[in-house]
Amino acid sequence: MSKFFVPGPTWVRPEILQEMTRPMIGHRGAEFRELYARIAADLKPLFGTARDAFVMTATGTALMEAALVNCASRRVLVTTCGAFSERWSQIAESLGLEVDKLAVEWGQAIDPEDVADHLVSRKAHYDAVTITHNETSTGVTNDVAALARVVRAESPDTLVLVDAVSSLAGIPLRFDEWNLDVCFASVQKCVALPPGIALFAVSEQALARAQKMPYRGTYFDFLSYKKHADDGGVPSTPSIPHFFALAAQLGHIVRGEGLEARWRRHEAMRETTIARTAKFAKLASERVHASATVTALAPVRPPEELRAAMRQRGFTLGGGYGKWKETTFRVGHMGDITMEALNAMLDALEEVAAA
Ligand code: PLP
C-alpha cells in the first residue's frame, strides 16, 4: 500500500514497474509497431478524442515548449493562477514571444468572463492562449471547457493550449468536445508511471499552424510525430521501457478500472482529504475549484514540522510550492492511490497534527 503522497511523481504499482524490465525490442520492428498500435488506440479515450494522440520521450515542461514552438510566432495570452501556469510565460519569453498575462490570486481559478473581457477589450491578436487545467502548486482546477469556449467565441483563430499534466486520467477531460488545440500531460501524475515520457493530442488547426512555422525545430516538431505515428512509430529512439509500462497501464485505466470510475475515485479522495484535515488545516484553494488530484493545505502547526513527523511514520507528503512553500503542504491523491491508503495516511496525519 502506498505511503507516498507527493503530487508527482506518484506511487507506481509493482506490476507496472515490472513491465519496464522486459528485454529490449527495436523501435522500428513489428513488435514495437504492435505495442505502439495498442497505446495509440487507448490514448484516444484517455484524451476524449477521435484523433491521433502521441507520445514524446520528454517531460511536461518540454511539451509546454513544444506547444509554443509549433503554434505561436508572435504573441500569446498566458492565464496564470500559480507556479506552473506562470511557467508558460517564462518559456514563451525565452522563445522571444510577446506575452500578455491574465492573472488571478493563488488559490483562485481563472474566470472565463475575465478571459472574454480581455479578448474583447484588447485589440491585440493572440496566436494562442495557454490554460493550466489543474494548477498543482495551489490545488485548483480550471474550467477548461468554459475557458476554451470563450476563446473560440471571441477569437476563433487563437489556438487553445492546455497543460493537463496533473489532470489527465484523474479529472474529466474531453479534447474534441471542448475544442482544444494542444493538450498534454507527463505520465508521473494521474497516469501513475515513472517520469520520462509525455502524452499529447493536437488538433487539425494546430497541425496546420505548425505547417506554417518555418523554424519549429526538430525534436519538438508535431508534424514529425504525426508522420511517424501514421507509420506506427515515433521520430527517434524512445524510452522503450516506458512504452511497455504505458501499454499495460493504459489497459488498466481504460478497460480495468475504467475512466469514469477513476475520475470518481479521485473526487472521493478530494472530499475525504478536505473533510479529514479541516480540524487542523485550512484549505488553501477556493472550495468550489478544489482539485480532485492534489490538495494544498495551510496547517495550524508549521507545515515542515508536520511533514517531518509524517516522514518518521514512513509517509511522504508534498511540500508547499513557490511562494506558498513556507505556509502550506500538499497532499497528492492522484494516480493509483487507493482510498484505503489515503485513509491510513490521514489517520496518521490526524494524530501528528494533534500532538
Ligand atoms: N505543469 C504542471 C501543472 C505541473 O504540475 C508540472 C510538474 O509538476 C509541470 C507542468 C511540469 O511537468 P514536468 O515536471 O513533467 O516537466
Spatial CA neighbour of 129 closest among 83, 162, 170: 162
Above 90 in pLDDT, residue 123? Answer: no
Count H helices and E strands in the chain, helices first: 12, 14
The pLDDT score that the predictor gives to residue 124 is: 80
Ligand 1 centroid to Cα of residue 183, in Å, is 13
Contacts of 304 (CB under 8 A, 6+ apart): 319, 329
Q: Report the atom number in ligand 1 closest to the C-alpha of 195.
A: 15
pLDDT mean over 138-152? 98
122 versus 99: the higher-pLDDT residue is 99
**pLDDT tens per residue, range 4-36:** 999 999 999 999 999 999 999 999 999 999 999
Per-residue pLDDT, averaged over 292-303, amounts to: 97
- Does residue 82 line the site of ligand 1, with CB under 6 A? no
**C-alpha torsion 25→227→57→185, nearest 10:** -130
Q: Please report the pLDDT score of residue 355 as a whole number.
A: 86
- Mean predicted lDDT score pLDDT of the chain: 97
Per-residue pLDDT of 32-71, as tens digits, reads: 999 999 999 999 999 999 999 999 999 999 999 999 999 9
Q: Round to whole Å and give the CA distance between 253 and 270.
A: 19
**Which three cell numbers, joined as nine digits, stand for 56?**
514524446
Question: For residue range 126-140, what is the model confidence (pLDDT) as tens digits?
Answer: 999 999 999 999 999
Probe target for ligand 1 pocket from 55, 56, 61, with the most ligand atoms within 8 Å of CB: 61
On whether the CB atoms of residues 239 and 93 are closer than 8 A, the answer is: no
pLDDT at 122: 85
DSSP state of 188: S
Quick check: CB of 8 below 6 Å from ligand 1?
Answer: yes
pLDDT digits (tens, 9 = 90+) for 203-232: 999 999 999 998 999 999 999 999 999 999
Amino acid at 113: E
Taking only the tens place, the pLDDT of each residue in 342-352 is 999 999 999 99
* pTM beyond 0.95, yes or no: yes
Grid cell for residue 351:
494524530
Residue for grid cell 482546477: 141
- Residue 183's pLDDT band (cuts 50, 70, 90): very high
Residue 44: partners with Cβ closer than 8 Å, 6 or more residues away? 50, 51, 53
Number of the ligand 1 atom closest to the C-alpha atom of 132:
3
Pairing of strands 159-163, 128-132: parallel
